[in-house]
Amino acid sequence: MKRIFDIVVASIALVLMLPFLLVAALAVRFTSNGPAFFSHERCGCRKVPFQCIKLRTMVPDAQDWLEQDSDLKARYKENGFKLDSNEDPRITNLGRFLRRYHLDELPQLINVLRGEMSLVGPRPIINEELEWYGEDKDELLSVQPGIFGPWTVMGQNRPEYPARALLELSYIREPSWNKDLSLLLGHVPVLLMGQSEEGDHD
């Protein structure tokens, strides 16, 4: 039933948001060099990796820049595998706007339709983040990661690790339709108000 719900809602949302997505993609393409979309490998359900799709918010060689800048890489790891937008030189001006209102996440509706993600679930993470889940990492990977979830719904009050790990695991351990619907509705003010300068890692 959850899969059917994901397909129906994601299909409707993608059709409704397609004009904006096309405009945003063109804006990304023409305001900085490189492709409009960006994909990054994340940990999927049952340990199957997948390419998480986003509108590109960084310069094209962002990952190489991170690997070559030891100070930036150290701050990235210390800050829960992300950086504040205002201190990350890789983020474009348009990218900061897209991140603030989570608009860069719109292409993940395609991941939902592919069956790689769900509308609601723990946020997809990179391999390095699994260390925060310790012996519970298999439990985290027993469900589809989501676009929306218990961590993202907290907006500007989202906790860092290890509190984030406990929050995501608590969602998995107490699943319910009411909780999923509540989380979806709870994201409305989060999306309208935007987030702080600290964003999800790209």
Q: Where are the chain's structural domains?
A: 2-57+92-193
Backbone phi and psi for residue 62, each to the nearest 5 degrees, phi listed first: -60, -45
pLDDT of residue 199: 46
**H helices present in 91-136, as ranges:** 93-100, 108-114
Gap between the Cα atoms of 69 and 74, Å rounded: 9
Interacting residues of 8 by C-beta distance below 8 A, sequence separation 6+: none
pLDDT in tens, 63-94: 777 777 778 777 777 777 777 767 778 888 89
What's the alpha-carbon Rg for the chain, to the nearest Å?
A: 16
How is residue 159 annotated by DSSP?
P
Lowest-confidence region among 82-86, 87-91, 107-111, 154-158: 82-86
| CA 172 distance to own-chain centroid | 17
Lowest-confidence region among 95-99, 154-158, 194-198: 194-198
pLDDT in tens, 3-17: 999 999 999 999 999
Gap between the Cα atoms of 51 and 31, Å rounded: 24
